[in-house]
Amino acid sequence: MRNFRVWDIYKDGMVLVKDIYVITKEFPKEEVYGLSSQIRRAAVSIVNNIAEGASRKSSKDFHRYLEMSLGSAFEVETLLKIIQDLNYCELERIEELLIKIDSLEKRINAFIQKIRKEDLN
């Protein structure tokens, strides 16, 4: 069993979830079941898939969950850009979150590549 709790991608993903919850508290009320809910679920999905994948015995299954985590990270990025276009949050805060999510995407992808190489050996 892999200890996902010590991985930076998991820890940083958890910080991102908190950041997303903080910014969405200030969204218009009509977005409670729209963008707010969708971006929260996508952010939580990043860390959930890392954790669930870590419990899988095969590297192939683990790899698949990391891919889903990466997909959720790209979803968060897209939703942040929509939020930016709708002016639901301060531009500086969105830019800060976009930098965080870009870094997280790159590191999840690098981890996927590492797992893929281990499968080949």
For 38, the enclosing helix (H) or strand (E) is helix 35-54
Return all residues near 45 (Cβ < 8 A) that are at least 6 apart: 68, 69, 72, 75
Q: Give the angle subtended at the CA of 115 by the CAs of 114 and 120, to the nearest 5°.
A: 95
pLDDT tens over the chain, length 121 residues: 799 999 999 999 999 999 999 999 999 999 989 999 999 999 999 999 999 999 999 899 999 999 999 999 999 999 999 999 999 999 999 999 999 999 999 999 999 999 888 777 6
Fold of 4-120: de novo design (two linked rop proteins) (1.20.1440)
Q: What is the pTM of this model?
A: 0.94
Taking the C-alpha atoms of residue 8 and residue 13, their distance in angstroms, rounded to an integer, is 8
Angle, helices 59-85 vs 8-24, to 10°: value is: 30
